[in-house]
Structure 1
């Protein structure tokens, strides 16, 4: 465990970002969307033994309120937020591990601010526009959003899992959606569906910018994610960039499910580039 965790808030255009800093050493940023800093706490604690680790709640989620709750949260906006955080802290160039929608944020950061990032590990970005069945996936995404916003969170989650090709035991599904839900978690899910999901999955990377070699782009895939939507989209991104995927332990949220093994793999990936 780190000796101290510095928690603070940074005002950015249209939002106030909650962020946390642990440890000392080379800077590693852990980014999610809609996952917030809490999801990365175990991994951040492990890495903080020899790294400065920055985590944050993305705009509109949990402790990062927005001025206009009706405004979308785009990858470009979240990339600008990360850039401002790094500038505020005087940190970087940094290594950035982004997972799921956070991987899309990290790729957008690499495009817009390559001077602030030396390595991006894009772990399972849901980039459906890179897939041949993109039209079907767009329709499925709109059905998920509409179902959730109509008040059927359970039905929307089932549709999400079906499209993602993720199969959960019924008791696990019920544990995740049943019972009384924390009001903040409900608000975060509403914001995700209304203002974050669509602009994230519909984002199209600038291949020329990402193939420039600066920063280095690593496409990460969970060993247990074979056949899932984010496995397919990650492999499509790797093919597009002309790189081999890098395998990580676990599934789409392997960093949370087995942080010890994930941290060991992440350290090896960074060490391979002498980072």
Structure 2
């Protein structure tokens, strides 16, 4: 008897696939899998093809495909005129459902990771304060080694807490809440959080620690802050790694620029709408490889009041000056910078902008783990990729 003709009893199939015999019988009664042949004593006998079909059933069921769809896929209902075409249609629809679920889970994972990092940061990194003429900047320090500043906008200490913990074994890591974010609360009369103002806040923080050059890693708006810091205070920058500065100003895309401006324009009155529109145009929460098509827009859940208030400030005051910032390319050439982007950020606004900046500076664009949110969502992997980029240049 060939391998193709080999027959298996229900106990053997159960052990091989990891389904209880009663579950196999249940799927058979429900019409999800075809009834196997029987021997002379009425015992079920499964061919190799039957086992592989059931194995596929397990994979589909684990990913949430409805039993009715599985029955159509396996052909157990016997109604399909063109089984191959039907299977392609069923799998395509199910892939879309899985992709939507993954987007939802990625967002949930990011929120959970940020909350874990926030509480961890409060336990391990005491808050210090830097007085500025018009506000107070909260910052934290941990670790030992070369001085490294992690810079975000709007990301602050909470968003960097997990990454800082990963890097603290090799660096003295400084994180801070940009003005108006976290513990650096907005106050009446405070200057707007433009890249120029945020760069001066960062320069004052660097002065608190050292008069010489330091290491920097900036993500998203924080990378834009570092572009301005390099222009204003080049002697402070020993090396700066810029991860996905979202510079719409570098993209010849009038429609994208108009959509961004419209999102920022409604942030004060309708932050939920502004978040939705910015989410759609940036694609920053998606995970898309170079050959993957970005997913279709999806509606975000209603945000709690606290998040709405944060986005009134971020999208209404900080994001516009950041994405429309025009970098001084010649000034940037005079400081040691490395440009990087998420390996799963393809076709997204920030990666496209970083690609444009890399072309202007004639620098390579280095892939990093994850997408635009990789620094907070995948801190261990991101830290491992970041460390060699912070090493001094070879003479």
The TM-score, its normalising length taken from structure 1, stands at 0.89
Alpha-carbon distance, 1:207 to partner: 0.7
Alpha-carbon distance in 2 for matches of 1:32, 1:125: 10
Q: Deviations over 1:34-73 (max 9, x none)?
A: 1111000001011111210000000111211244367421
Select the residue among 271, 276, 282 that pairs with 1:158: 276
Q: Deviations over 1:104-138 (max 9, x none)?
A: 001111111111111111100011111111x3233
Alpha-carbon distance, 1:4 to partner: 5.2
Q: Superposed, which structure 2 residues align to 1:140-151 within 5 Å?
A: 140-151=259-270
Q: Superposed, which structure 2 residues align to 1:109-188 within 5 Å?
A: 109-133=229-253, 135-151=254-270, 153-166=271-284, 174=300, 177-178=301-302, 180-181=304-305, 183=306, 185-188=307-310
Q: Which structure has the highest strand share of the two?
A: 1
Alpha-carbon distance in 1 for matches of 2:266, 2:303: 19
Alpha-carbon distance in 2 for matches of 1:239, 1:162: 26
Alpha-carbon distance, 1:95 to partner: 1.2
SS in 2 for 1:149: coil
Select the residue among 191, 199, 202 that pairs with 2:321: 199
Alpha-carbon distance, 1:92 to partner: 4.3
Counterpart in the other structure of 2:351 = 231
SS in 2 for 1:150: coil
Q: Superposed, which structure 2 residues align to 1:14-93 within 5 Å?
A: 14-68=134-188, 71-90=191-210, 92-93=212-213
SS in 1 for 2:371: coil
Alpha-carbon distance in 2 for matches of 1:241, 1:115: 19
Alpha-carbon distance in 2 for matches of 1:100, 1:148: 19
Q: How many residues align?
A: 265
Counterpart in the other structure of 1:99 = 219
Q: Flag as ranges the 4+ runs of structure 1 deviating above 4 A.
A: 1-4, 166-170
Unaligned 5+ runs, structure 2: 1-119, 287-294
Alpha-carbon distance in 2 for matches of 1:69, 1:140: 29
Q: Deviations over 1:16-51 (max 9, x none)?
A: 000000111101111111111100000101111121
Alpha-carbon distance in 2 for matches of 1:70, 1:15: 6
The structure with more radius of gyration: 2
Unaligned 5+ runs, structure 1: none
SS in 1 for 2:354: helix
The TM-score, its normalising length taken from structure 2, stands at 0.63
Alpha-carbon distance in 2 for matches of 1:179, 1:271: 41
Relative contact order (alpha carbons < 8 A, sep ≥ 6): 1 or 2 greater? Answer: 1
Two-structure CA RMSD over aligned residues (Å): 2.3
Alpha-carbon distance in 2 for matches of 1:71, 1:10: 16
CA contact (8 A) 1:71 1:195 kept: no
SS in 1 for 2:330: helix
Alpha-carbon distance in 1 for matches of 2:276, 2:227: 28
Alpha-carbon distance in 1 for matches of 2:390, 2:195: 24
Counterpart in the other structure of 1:254 = 374
SS in 1 for 2:203: helix
CA contact (8 A) 2:241 2:390 kept: no
Alpha-carbon distance, 1:272 to partner: 6.3
